[in-house]
A = this chain, B = another copy of it.
Amino acid sequence: MKFEGRNVRVSPRAKIGRDVRIGDDVTIYDHVEVGDGSVIANGSVLGEPPAAYYGAKEFENPALKIGARALIRSHAIIYAGSTIGDDFQTGHRVTIREQMQIGHHCSVGTLCDLQGHAVFGDYVRLHSNVHIGQKSRLGSFVFIYPYVVLTNDPTPPSDVLVGPVVEDYAQIACMTVVLPAVKIGRHALVGAHALVAKDIPEFQLAVGSPAAPIKDVRKIAARTAAGEAHYPWPERFKRGMPWAQQGFAEWCAQHGLDEFGSPRKT
């Protein structure tokens, strides 16, 4: 329905894998590599040339590498110059700028704005309309909800950027701002409408503007199992997660991780 080959423009210098479906009105520029089995839906632009292109006499587009089985929804703009792992998914109208390193199994929701020069681990999930400033570093299994902004300049304007760090399994609820250089610890949960101005220790629920830890997330009751805790969330949530089959505890054991999914300290 979407894949009728109308107005598709693929550079002869792009490498398109096997069984890739390319939607109508898609543009793929030079040096884009799309992995096998991917879907690039209608109106998307892959390999958007960075700013240098506009002024350059001679311009060589940087490489954009997207792994296997991507599902890029319609009207994405993904710049040249990034590396994205396998099983990547996007919503509509995402903007992903240059120099992103994105791991495997990540997803980026509708209208997300990734400013480039940032690093994501695996299984990062950004819901709609998340803004990731340059120099941000996200671990794996990080969930960020709508209208969250990660910033990077403590004394604006300046040319000295320092991004936040969000550790594995941490979550940031919607409409929250994370200030530059702040670290959010593993399995921490930042509540909605917070301003994170200081580091949040691991496993803490932090709320408020400015945000302060108020309790251990492991004391938050599950809604689906009386008397049990909802957190650490991987014990309760498995949709799309690598422990979907065997459960989190066994998955950790199989991978030599501690009970919270982190490498054992030795």
* Among B147, B208, B223, contact of A154 (Cβ-Cβ < 8 Å): B223
| Stoichiometry, copies per complex | 3
Main secondary structure of the interface of A (DSSP, over half): loop
Count of residues in A whose CB is under 8 Å from the partner chain = 72
Contact with B along A213-251 (1 / 0, CB 8 A): 000000010111000001101001101000000000000
- Give Cα A113–Cα B129 distance, bound, in whole angstroms: 9
Given contacts A9-B6, A24-B27, A54-B39, is CB(A177)–CB(B192) below 8 Å? yes
Q: Which residue of B lies closest to A147 (CB)?
A: B149
Asked if A155 and B193 sit within 8 Å, CB to CB, the answer is no
Per-residue contact bits, chain A 166-207, to B (CB 8 Å; 1 contact, 0 not): 000001011101010000000001001111000000000000
Residues of B within 8 A of A223 (CB): 154-155, 158, 160
Residues B149 and A1 in contact, CB atoms below 8 Å apart: no
A143 within 8 A of partner (CB) = yes
6 additional A-B pairs beyond A77-B92, A156-B173, beta carbons within 8 Å, are A92-B95, A149-B174, A155-B223, A158-B237, A160-B224, A174-B177
